[in-house]
Structure 1
Amino acid sequence: MRGRPLLLLLLLSGLVLVAGMADVWVDLHSPRFVVHHHSATLRCDHNIDPQALYKVVFFKNAQRIMKYVRERDPPFELYNITGAEINLMKLTPTSITLDKMDFTASGSYACEVAIETPLFYSKVSRIHELTVIVRQKFRPKIKIKHKKLTSTEYLDATCQSTPAHPPPHLTWFINNEKVDERLTIPHGTTTAHRAHHGMQLSVTSSSLHFPLSSLTLFPNQTVDITCLSTIPSYPSNGEGFADVQNHTISVNVVRIEPAPTQLPVKIISSDPNLSAQRKIDRMLIALLLFACHFISESINSV
């Protein structure tokens, strides 16, 4: 009987604690892309009091790669990880650094935090995808049939990226304005004739069919065409592109003025009275001029 109040107090404390754990958050902070043979630091962020933190575990593809348990000796326990080396000098209870990352280090990563007292509770972060990449060595190549066009023609061009992994994404720009994708024709990816440390690289191709009449052009204007080649297709939040190359060429466009819609027309009045009045006026003017001439001749003869 004497132990029941204490037991009840512990149970109530546990319920309060479990209810409070609903406000606990944990997040794995890691780069989305890592260049082949470079390093990456994975950090397990959380809002648990460091004094209450009991355990932190890092996972790759749902398999443990590192476990930290407070007050154990040693506190760290490392597991096998393919495609990378764990940097022991940079190891902390909430972070792990992977060196010399190979392509097999790509995968799904997550972390877990836990408390032990008064009741055991743990929470796992969302899965974070990490990909080891090979950057493009050169800018993409733009090919165009004619570098001088008229404003009534279509601009037709093709672009191909240089080899990379994963395949780059191509985006077209005209005068620094993104082109509507409905005016582009993606040709997909093809395997390149080279590999990087056993990884087969790929190239991406795309075509452009753009009506120059949609532009506001000045006489003999130069139009800039840009092909942007990136990994990934959109920049990551806070990180930008993992790899980016671009190529710009200029095309001379001759503006053609539109033909007139109708020829000049002489307007003739359809009012017969007005036409007759004009004839009378012309006759009176002729008679007046004749009279003036006659008077002048008479004066001279005198």
Structure 2
Amino acid sequence: MNRHLWLGVTFVFALITGASCLRDVRLEVVPEVVQRGHEVIVRCYYDVEKRPLYSVKWYRGKHEFYRFSPSEFPPTKIFNISGIDIDLMNSNESQVTICNVDFGLSGNFSCEVTVEAPTFSTAFVSKKLTVVSLPQGRPTIVLERDRYDPGDVLNANCSLPASKPPTRISFSLNNKPVGSSMSKPRKLDNGNGGSQTDTGLQSSNLTLTIQPSHYSNGQLTLRCIAEIPGIFSSTSEVQIGTGLREPVPERVTSENGCPAGTMLSLFVVCLSLVHLLLR
């Protein structure tokens, strides 16, 4: 076997051997959806099959922020990346704990595992992190009034604290969907004939003409459902009364069908005539 063929066979064998010495390499982000200001753990699992480990590197996007190299001292190295606050006491050769996460960390996290010479085989895996800000508290429903009759126009507003991503707000009347939309920042009058955005609230409006079919046993229950699919859900409801309109009083009549007002007038006339005759 000539020298070049031998080198080629050796190289291929090294590749095959190196490829087989890295198994079950995977990445876990806990939790994958994390509340802003909380911590997240990025775990890198790997099996080097008793081969010497050269390094494990962690990345956010294209930027390396943490490295574990057992042959170096100290074995851990932190790279200064804006927005990544590492808890070194809870980070090691298989995981990195990041504190006080912010929206800028949403995106792909990766780990790169490399075994020692002669092969320096490498495996690279990724996982996505989503940083959210969930609403604090339940939705609040506001109505123009608390009683409605068929034919009346119902105007309702549902609001709750701001969130990222925005919350989807939907309405139901007696468990039947009647409206759904992405929430919008609530507008407030700024006192100068205009409006300003209240960034602390998000809301959605409902305008609906009440129909007899909307009632269930004479009752109306309006429900507001606030959702971030797969992440957050909260519901509030109000009971709406009926009979807003005051009844129109019927005309009072005497037994013989004459209006009561007419009888009173005749009585007054008779008294006047008697008074004239007695004079």
Deviation at 1:12, TM superposition (A): 3.7
Is residue 2:251 matched to residue 1:251? Answer: no
Is residue 2:143 matched to residue 1:144? Answer: yes
Percent identity, aligned pairs only?
21
CA pair 209-167 structure 1, distance change in 2 beyond 3 A: same
CA pair 25-215 structure 1, distance change in 2 beyond 3 A: farther
Q: Distance between the aligned counterparts of 1:166 and 1:45, measured in 2?
A: 31
CA pair 85-7 structure 1, distance change in 2 beyond 3 A: same
Q: CA-to-partner distance for each residue in 1:191-214, whole Å, 9 max, x for gaps?
A: 89xxxxxxx955322123456659
Is residue 2:126 matched to residue 1:131? Answer: no
The residue type equivalent to 2:26 in the other structure is V
CA pair 91-219 structure 1, distance change in 2 beyond 3 A: closer
Match of 1:203 among 201, 204, 208: 201
Q: Distance between the aligned counterparts of 1:214 and 1:94, measured in 2?
A: 64
Unaligned runs of 5+ residues in structure 2 are 189-197, 244-279
CA pair 208-8 structure 1, distance change in 2 beyond 3 A: same
Match of 1:166 among 164, 167, 170: 164
The residue type equivalent to 2:184 in the other structure is G
Corresponding residue of 2:194: none
Deviation at 1:234, TM superposition (A): 0.9
Q: Distance between the aligned counterparts of 1:68 and 1:19, measured in 2?
A: 21
* Correspondences of 1:170-189 after superposition (within 5 Å): 170-174=168-172, 177=175, 179=177, 183-186=179-182, 188-189=184-185
Cα RMSD of the aligned pairs, angstroms, is 3.9
The residue type equivalent to 2:135 in the other structure is Q
Corresponding residue of 1:234: 229
The residue type equivalent to 1:77 in the other structure is K
CA pair 138-120 structure 1, distance change in 2 beyond 3 A: same
CA pair 250-118 structure 1, distance change in 2 beyond 3 A: farther
Contact 1:152/1:211 (<8 A) preserved: yes
Corresponding residue of 2:97: 97
| Secondary structure in 1 matching 2:112 | strand
Q: Distance between the aligned counterparts of 1:215 and 1:126, measured in 2?
A: 53
Contact 2:19/2:121 (<8 A) preserved: no
The residue type equivalent to 1:234 in the other structure is P
Q: Distance between the aligned counterparts of 1:105 and 1:26, measured in 2?
A: 20
Corresponding residue of 2:43: 43
The residue type equivalent to 2:121 in the other structure is Y
Corresponding residue of 1:274: none
Q: Distance between the aligned counterparts of 2:54 and 2:101, measured in 1?
A: 29
Corresponding residue of 1:197: none
Deviation at 1:221, TM superposition (A): 2.5
TM-score after normalising by structure 1: 0.60
CA pair 79-250 structure 1, distance change in 2 beyond 3 A: same
Deviation at 1:160, TM superposition (A): 1.8
The residue type equivalent to 2:237 in the other structure is T
The residue type equivalent to 2:120 in the other structure is F
Equivalent pairs counted in the alignment come to 233
* Correspondences of 1:282-301 after superposition (within 5 Å): none
Contact 2:24/2:45 (<8 A) preserved: no
Deviation at 1:152, TM superposition (A): 6.0
Corresponding residue of 1:83: 83
